[in-house]
Amino acid sequence: MLRLMTMVLALLPVLAQAQVVTDAVLDNGMEVVVIEDHRAPAVYHSVWYRTGAADEPPGASGAAHLLEHLMFKATGTLAPGELSATVAANGGSDNAATSSDYTFYYQRIAADRLELVMRMEADRMRNLRLTPAEIETERQVVIEERNQRVENNPGALANEQGMAAQYLNHPYGAPVIGWMHEIEQLGYPDVQAFYDLYYSPNNAVLIVAGDVDPDEVLELARIHYGPIAPAPDLPARIRPEEPPQRAARHLVYSDPRVAQARLWRTYLAPQRISGDQRDAAALLYLAQLLGGSPFTSVLARDLSFDSRIASETSASYWGTSLDATTFRVALTPADGISLDQAEAALDASLVRILEEGVDEARFERLKVQLRASEIYAQDNAAGLAQRYGAALASGLTVADVQDWPRVLQEVTEEDVMRMARAVLVPEHSVTVHLVPEEE
Partner 1 sequence: MLKRIAASAVLVLAALPLRAEIAIEEVTSPGGIAVWLVEEHALPFVALEIRLRGGANLDEPGARGAANAAMWLMNEGAGDMDARAFAERAEELAAHFSFRAGDDALSISAMMLSENMDEAADLLAVALTEPRFDADAIERMREDVLQSIARDRMSPGAIAAQTLYSMVWPDHPYGSDSKGTVESMSALTRDDIVTAWENTVTRADVYVGAVGDIDAETLGGLIDRILGGLPAAGPPGPPRVEYTLAGGTTIVDFPTPQSVAFFAQRGIAIDDPRYFAASILNTVLGDGMESRLMQELREKRGLTYGIGTALAPRDLSALMIGSFASSNATMAEAVGLVQEEWERIAREGITEEELEFARTWMTGEYPLRFDGNGAIARILVGMQMIGLPADYVTHRNDYVNAVTLEQANRVAGELYDPEGLHFVVVGQPEGL
Report if residue 332 touches partner 1, rule: CB under 8 A: yes
Q: Total binding residues for partner 1 by CB under 8 A?
A: 81
249-254 β-sheet, strand order:
249-254, 429-435, 262-269, 325-333, 310-317
CB of 132 or CB of 256, closer to partner 1 = 256
Q: Is 152 in the site for partner 1 (CB under 8 A)?
A: yes
Q: Which of 185, 191, 30, 239 is nearest to 121 (CA)?
A: 30
CB of 367 to partner 1, least distance (A): 10
Whole-angstrom CA distances from 324 to 242, 246, 312, 427 are 9, 16, 27, 15
The reply to whether 90 sits near partner 1 by the rule CB under 8 A is yes
The answer to whether the CB of 346 falls within 8 A of the CB of 329 is yes
Q: Distance between CA 208 and CA 151 in Å, rounded?
A: 36
Shortest distance in whole angstroms from residue 3 CB to partner 1: 10
- Residues 6 or more apart whose Cβ sits within 8 Å of residue 386: 46, 104, 207
**Residue 144 near partner 1 by CB under 8 A:** yes
- From the list 36, 68, 121, 374, the catalytic residue is 68
By CB under 8 A, the residues from 263 to 282 that bind partner 1 are: none
- Measured in degrees and rounded to the nearest 5, phi and psi for residue 315 equal -145, 145
| Closer residue to partner 1 in complex, CB, 116/165 | 116
3-state secondary structure of 162: helix
The yes-or-no answer on residue 68 being catalytic is: yes
Note whether 46 binds partner 1 by CB under 8 A: no
Q: What's the rounded Cα separation, in Å, for the pair 45 and 31?
A: 13
**Considering only residues 181-200, where is the footprint of partner 1 by CB under 8 A?**
none
34 close to 218: Cβ distance less than 8 angstroms? yes
Question: CB 54 → partner 1: shortest distance, Å?
Answer: 23
Shortest distance in whole angstroms from residue 196 CB to partner 1 = 24
Q: Within 10 Å of residue 133's Cβ, how many Cβ atoms?
A: 8
Question: Binding partner 1 by CB under 8 A: which of 295, 360, 437, 438?
Answer: 295
Instruction: Kindly state whether residue 437 participates in binding partner 1, applying the rule CB under 8 A.
Output: no
- Taking CB under 8 A as the binding criterion, the range among 55-63, 78-86, 219-227, 270-278 that sits at the site for partner 1 is 78-86
| Closer residue to partner 1, CB minimum distance, 91 or 189 | 91
> Helix H segments across 147-187?
154-166, 180-183
- Our finding on whether 341 is near partner 1 (CB under 8 A) is no
Among 127, 131, 169, 260, binds partner 1 (CB under 8 A): 260
Burial of 248 (0-12, 13-18, 19+ CB in 10 A): middle
Give me the least distance between CB of 120 and partner 1, in Å please. 7
Nearer to partner 1, 167 or 404 (CB): 404
By CB under 8 A, is residue 227 in contact with partner 1? no
The yes or no reply on residue 312 touching partner 1 (CB under 8 A) is: yes
- Residue 378 has a CB neighbour count (10 Å cut-off) of 16
151 lies in the site for partner 1, by CB under 8 A: yes
User: Which active-site residues does the annotation give?
Assistant: 68
